[in-house]
Copies of this chain bind each other. A is one copy, B any other.
Amino acid sequence: VLDTGGSDYLLATVDMMVEQVHFDLETIEPRVLGRRALAINVSDIAAMGGEPSFALVSLALPPSCSARFLQEVYEGLAQEAALTSTGIVGGNVTRTSGPLCIDVMLLGRVPRSEVVLRSGAQPGDLLAVTGQLGGAAALRAGAAKSMVPVATEGLSLVPVSRVAVARALASAGLAHAMMDLSDGLAGDLHHLCRASGVGAVVWAGRLPISDVTRAVATNLGIAAESLALTGGEDYELLVALSPGDVERARIGVGDVALSVIGEIVAPSLGVTLLTNGGVRQDIPPSGWTHF
């Protein structure tokens, strides 16, 4: 969040995707790769209450990368840019002897009074998430196990833009703290709690999980709640807000599901999960491991 003297703050974020770490060229369509590379950055800008404006795209390309492949990556970037009112205004291209890297830097803006940070959650706030959780993990797990495509129908590697939802919450002053769920709820909630100096309780029974994700989890023999907590890459919004503001928030976000999944508590109570059986257990700060 950068103060450049105007009535808005300038927002700047960057997220690099590396072949074999963040995607596999065998399983991802180049258009999807392009869309995703921009969309994960849009998600970061949205989570601050902002709107994206301009993007720069850096590419490191191995010799095996064809012009056609690159063309399709850019078609995906352009499609996502159009959907999110973002201008792709520059970038850099270089060769590499290693994996393909795509690094998108995104600028955005937010009115000064409407910026939302991770640090504003207060004990007594409710925790809510948009959309549904665990879908990206179900899709990855399904692909790894070569499950039939129909099993993962409705799941996507391209996160849906939550810019409008986040703007509605931010402009109405309803979000005390907000972030996007990139690493998984477990790890990201720890980030939010640490930044705010609070603890949290997540109610397992209230986690929004789609039927498709539940079916994949059953097929894999794991708990759907695990996918929701630690799967990562859902890029939904996690927001802390006053209990009295939940219904106003629901009206503000329109058709998008906003599920209350827990509450903010005193820091001494830690970050815990209340299971369906009524057991309270610590949520370890796990999730996407960068190394």
Residue A6 at the chain B interface, CB threshold 8 Å: yes
Question: Are A12 and B98 neighbours in the complex by a CB distance under 8 Å?
Answer: no
Interface string of A104-120 (1 = CB under 8 A from B): 01010100000000000
Contacts A21-B96, A96-B101, A290-B94 hold; do A109 and B4 have CB atoms under 8 A apart?
A: yes
Collect the chain B residues with CB atoms within 8 Å of residue A93's CB: 290
CB distance from A134 to the nearest CB of B (A): 23
Q: Which of A1-33 contact B (CB under 8 A)?
A: 2, 4-6, 10, 12-18, 20-22
CB distance from A40 to the nearest CB of B (A): 11
Residue A90 at the chain B interface, CB threshold 8 Å: yes
Contacts A6-B4, A6-B6, A53-B4 hold; do A14 and B97 have CB atoms under 8 A apart?
A: no
Contacts A2-B54, A5-B6, A6-B6 hold; do A14 and B95 have CB atoms under 8 A apart?
A: no
Interface string of A78-101 (1 = CB under 8 A from B): 000000000001111111111101
Collect the chain B residues with CB atoms within 8 Å of residue A97's CB: 20-21, 98-99
CB distance from A2 to the nearest CB of B (A): 6
Contacting A95 at CB < 8 Å: which of B56, B91, B107, B291?
B291
Collect the chain B residues with CB atoms within 8 Å of residue A105's CB: 12, 14, 56, 58, 105
Residue of B nearest to A91 (CB): B14
Residue A261 at the chain B interface, CB threshold 8 Å: no
State in angstroms the CA–CA spacing of A54 and B5 once bound together.
Answer: 14
Question: Are B12 and A89 neighbours in the complex by a CB distance under 8 Å?
Answer: yes
State in angstroms the CA–CA spacing of A90 and B11 once bound together.
Answer: 11
Residue of B nearest to A100 (CB): B98
Residue of B nearest to A105 (CB): B105
Contacting A14 at CB < 8 Å: which of B56, B98, B290?
B56
